[in-house]
Structure 1
């Protein structure tokens, strides 16, 4: 059987879809994306159809709208759709309503992301990151609450806040998995391998972010069960990866980890699910602060 050339549209679409999964962790490696997909299959296979539907829909909309092919190829129009598919599959059983909501929200995510990216490149806007997912996720969760639709049963959390070395390792791995709503340490390990495949330095920062979340949660007296389930590690993980890609020093990603952790409890006080908003705000604050500092230095140096 003749081999398909690498430029074959089907292979290009598959590569773009896998890159969309990888972009959840701010990577553009199809190998990393394949391991993210495998982690979902390991940790919560019932969520995989929704993730695939969301990623394919957001990518297809970008293609149909004529958005930059390079952006599509590296997965920038896939990850928000994947996350929305995961969130909705977690909250709703498979009924005819679920794919409709996934397709609609994934479509909107691409339509929101495109003008934001254009303004980011032309006018210096802050990066969107997963903001389309967060905004649409909040609206969808509010809608489901108003309609009182039955949610899928939540995954079981660890029973007791034991502090053995094994429990610590498992909690750190769960912190990686919670980025995509998984509490399986094996899925977290799979994600770590995916990050290592894409960029070993990012894998190390992901571990530091998740570890920092676990440590601060225990130090601050936050619920031990939540800490062991990795619920305080995933925003810190994403902040660490995002900032370490831009800053080679240690203190900026470390500051991002701390900010993401300090911001997360505030959403509970507001009655909002945090999702990935603490990570986004931490990165925005640091980016805005750096821009303001650079502007102040330029102004002071001007005659």
Structure 2
């Protein structure tokens, strides 16, 4: 079995939180954890249990040490921990389900990464979280266990409300609809990568603007629910493409995909972000093939 020193274990867990925003920076992860702790201590406990179990189960299973160190086995588990506590409330049963779910997400995560490296598959991003999140939502709904979620959104569509909505769009990545939480996350990502933080902000602004322009729900817009998928999509694509065109296309795709999920009545979670990144990547591959000599 692989072993990590206590300091490296701490770094790996914090990197798991920063990897929610595609960064490998313990300072970024610490600020994200702080944002959760300040605004929702119960969610912080769930996310921490998820990140810990995800990281240490990867160690126990003998996964690649370099992947564990940069947090690749912590972020899906942390997101799952947030979702489970949001759905079911904080209890011993919930923490047990988080631990079980964290191990299972790792079993999928390791296969997705192997397929990407060995067979050139598209990156999985938060796909393990989305798949098991959908399962949890379906089961919780069927068993009538869902705790009603509260959206901390400003109710007035004015200048301050719009600014709050942009910040909340960033915070909603970690299920926090509070502007101050989003601002702290913004600082965290800026600490790791200023360009990524700028594109993330652009994505949240664009998602909000496009939803309002299309006559969408003002309540969703002000709660930040329109901003988090385009924010993630812009951040992710900007790290691969230096041009501004690809992140912009990812933003538009994420907004359209989110609208499609809403029409179908499906919980989007972060699936629009994943699919938007896939579309941009597939477009790039198609363009590269066209340039190949016959």
Instruction: Choose 108-117 or 266-275, whichever is displaced more.
Output: 266-275
Tell me the equivalent position of 2:200.
Answer: 206
Q: What's the CA shift for 1:159?
A: 5.0
Tell me the equivalent position of 1:106.
Answer: 102
Aligned Cα root-mean-square deviation (Å): 1.3
TM-score (norm 2): 0.96
Q: What's the CA shift for 1:156?
A: 3.5
Distance 1:159 1:38 in 2: 23
Tell me the equivalent position of 1:3.
Answer: none
After TM superposition, list the pairs within 5 Å mapping 1:23-102 onto structure 2.
23-102=19-98
**Partner SS state of residue 67, structure 1:** coil
**Could you report, residue by residue, the CA deviation over 1:135-193 in whole angstroms, capped at 9, with x for unpaired residues?**
000011101111111x33422343524222x2221111000000000011111111011
1:139 partnered with 2:135: yes
Tell me the equivalent position of 1:122.
Answer: 118
Tell me the equivalent position of 2:217.
Answer: 223
TM-score (norm 1): 0.94
Q: What's the CA shift for 1:270?
A: 2.4
**Partner SS state of residue 83, structure 1:** helix
**Could you report, residue by residue, the CA deviation over 1:7-59 in whole angstroms, capped at 9, with x for unpaired residues?**
97111000000000000000000000001001101221220110001111111
Tell me the equivalent position of 1:289.
Answer: 283
Distance 1:225 1:155 in 2: 12
Structure with bigger gyration radius: 1
Distance 1:25 1:236 in 2: 12
1:10 partnered with 2:18: no
Tell me the equivalent position of 2:260.
Answer: 266
Tell me the equivalent position of 2:179.
Answer: 185
1:194 partnered with 2:188: yes
**Partner SS state of residue 246, structure 1:** coil
| Change beyond 3 A, Cα 1:218–1:249 | same
| Change beyond 3 A, Cα 1:114–1:163 | same
Aligned residue among 224, 239, 242 for 2:236: 242
1:275 partnered with 2:272: no
Tell me the equivalent position of 1:156.
Answer: 151
Distance 2:191 2:90 in 1: 33
**Partner SS state of residue 71, structure 2:** coil
**Partner SS state of residue 248, structure 1:** coil
Any gaps of 5 or more consecutive residues in structure 2?
none
Instruction: Choose 80-89 or 266-275, whichever is displaced more.
Output: 266-275
**Does the aligned pair in 2 maintain the 1:16–1:74 contact within 8 Å?**
yes
Distance 2:235 2:124 in 1: 15
Any gaps of 5 or more consecutive residues in structure 1?
1-6
